[in-house]
């Protein structure tokens, strides 16, 4: 069985990562690739590491014939998916890797993204794409909204703890260390090699990061009352990877037990033995998420550290995982690639 997919926005890093994953996927096929500014070029011109693959040429989105497409991966800049999805044939399933459908509440969308949503009806039907927690909905969804990469990392660390009321909901501090590919391939002075290669610094501090909209939505729904976390990302000089250090109030052993139990049957989420800390280097290039729990000398405090590859499990790997479910394939198809180390 082969399903035809199209990747919209294939000239960005998440687009390239989708190609990487689908190239060795047993049941997915790339039927079309779009990239508006690079239309007409070969993928190998834009991404020489894909040189060996026989891929369709990059075209403009409107040149794609969607009639033979089973599923579209939309890896577009935020804001562009809303209109697009409305225009697609109803039979085409969609995994949106952008932010357009992550928030269910139009007001929340407008608050965090600064503009009214233009497809609010569709917005209500989108399923939030955190596979491990929305599996059943995803299986029957037409439109799945991929999560933010930070949002995925922190939710893997916290959801079972919030659901089981194991932590103080009013004292959650998440300090993230983020690989540079999270900023995409766009030209920004502060993303130059020279600016980033020997530097560590925080950004979007103080509660300004858009992924907070996802945390608020998901954690509040889970807790049945408003939950706000303190969340601070930091740029570190690695290409791929997010490490989330979550400072919590609760019993560390109980927390470890709950996470271990929650993910016991999950193929991609691995909880380390108590007291061990995961590293971004151990999930690089893979769809795995590693989670570690330690106690502190201060009683009642716990540290939960989660790490994943932002481009894979945090974005394109998650997208393929969701596509697998939407298309009736095995959830792990094409995704058991081993991390690349060193």
Query: How is residue 63 annotated by DSSP?
Result: G
Binder among 117, 196, 211, 313 for a second copy (CB under 8 A): 196
Q: How far apart are CA 30 and CA 43, in angstroms?
A: 12
| Binding residues for a second copy restricted to 225-264, rule: CB under 8 A | 228, 230, 232, 234, 236-241, 243, 245, 247
| Binding residues for a second copy restricted to 261-300, rule: CB under 8 A | 267, 270, 272, 275, 277-286, 288, 290, 292, 294-298
Tokens representing 235? 């740029």
By CB under 8 A, residue 53 contacts a second copy: yes
**DSSP secondary structure letters along 104-147:** S-HHHHHHHHSS--S-HHHHHHPEE--HHHHHHHHHT-SEEEPP
By CB under 8 A, residue 201 contacts a second copy: yes
CB 75 within 8 A of CB 145: no
Of the residues 3, 149, 174, 312, only one is catalytic, namely: 149
Strand partners, 230: 173
What is the nearest approach in angstroms of a second copy to the Cβ of residue 140? 28
Q: How far apart are CA 228 and CA 44, in angstroms?
A: 44
By CB under 8 A, residue 36 contacts a second copy: no
Is 312 among the catalytic positions?
Answer: no
What is the nearest approach in angstroms of a second copy to the Cβ of residue 188? 7
Q: Segment near a second copy (CB under 8 A), from 11-19, 109-117, 149-157, 217-225?
A: 11-19
Question: Which sign does the torsion angle of CA 204, 209, 215, 216 carry?
Answer: positive
By CB under 8 A, residue 41 contacts a second copy: no
By CB under 8 A, residue 324 contacts a second copy: no
By CB under 8 A, residue 47 contacts a second copy: yes
By CB under 8 A, residue 175 contacts a second copy: yes
Angle 63-182-109 (CA atoms, 0-180°, nearest 5)? Answer: 75
Which residue, 114 or 206, has its beta carbon nearer to a second copy? 206
Q: How far apart are CA 162 and CA 173, in angstroms?
A: 14
Which residue, 142 or 282, has its beta carbon nearer to a second copy? 282
Tokens representing 62? 């409107």
Q: Which sequence positions are flagged as catalytic?
A: 149
């Amino acid at each position: 069985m082969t399903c035809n997919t199209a990747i919209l926005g294939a000239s960005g890093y998440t687009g390239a990562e989708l190609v990487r994953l689908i190239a060795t996927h047993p049941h997915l096929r790339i039927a079309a690739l779009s990239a508006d500014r690079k239309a007409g070029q070969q993928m190998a011109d834009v991404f020489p590491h894909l040189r060996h693959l026989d891929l369709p040429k990059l075209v403009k989105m409107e040149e794609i014939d969607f009639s033979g497409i089973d599923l579209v991966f939309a890896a577009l800049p935020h804001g562009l998916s809303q209109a697009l999805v409305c225009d697609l044939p109803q039979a085409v399933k969609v995994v949106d890797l952008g932010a357009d459908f992550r928030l269910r509440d139009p007001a929340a969308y407008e608050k965090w993204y600064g503009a009214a949503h233009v497809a609010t009806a569709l917005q209500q039907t989108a399923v939030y794409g955190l596979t491990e927690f929305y599996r059943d909905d995803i299986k029957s969804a037409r439109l799945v909204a991929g999560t933010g990469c930070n949002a995925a990392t922190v939710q893997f660390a916290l959801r079972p703890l919030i659901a089981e009321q194991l932590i103080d909901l009013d004292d959650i501090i998440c300090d993230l260390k983020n690989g540079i590919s999270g900023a995409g391939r766009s030209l920004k002075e502060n993303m130059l090699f020279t600016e980033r290669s020997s530097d560590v610094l925080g950004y979007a501090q103080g509660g300004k990061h858009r992924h907070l909209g996802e945390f608020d939505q998901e954690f509040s729904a889970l807790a049945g009352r408003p939950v706000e976390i303190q969340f601070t990302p930091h740029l570190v000089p690695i290409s791929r990877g997010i490490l989330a250090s979550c400072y919590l109030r609760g019993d560390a052993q109980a927390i470890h037990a709950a996470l271990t139990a929650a993910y016991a049957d999950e193929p991609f989420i691995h909880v380390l033995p108590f007291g061990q800390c995961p590293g971004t280097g151990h999930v690089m290039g893979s769809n795995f998420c590693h989670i570690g729990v330690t106690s502190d000398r201060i009683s009642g405090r716990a540290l939960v550290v989660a790490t994943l590859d932002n481009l894979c499990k945090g974005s394109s790997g998650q997208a393929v995982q969701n596509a697998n479910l939407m298309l009736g394939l095995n959830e792990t198809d094409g995704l058991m690639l081993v991390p690349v180390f060193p």
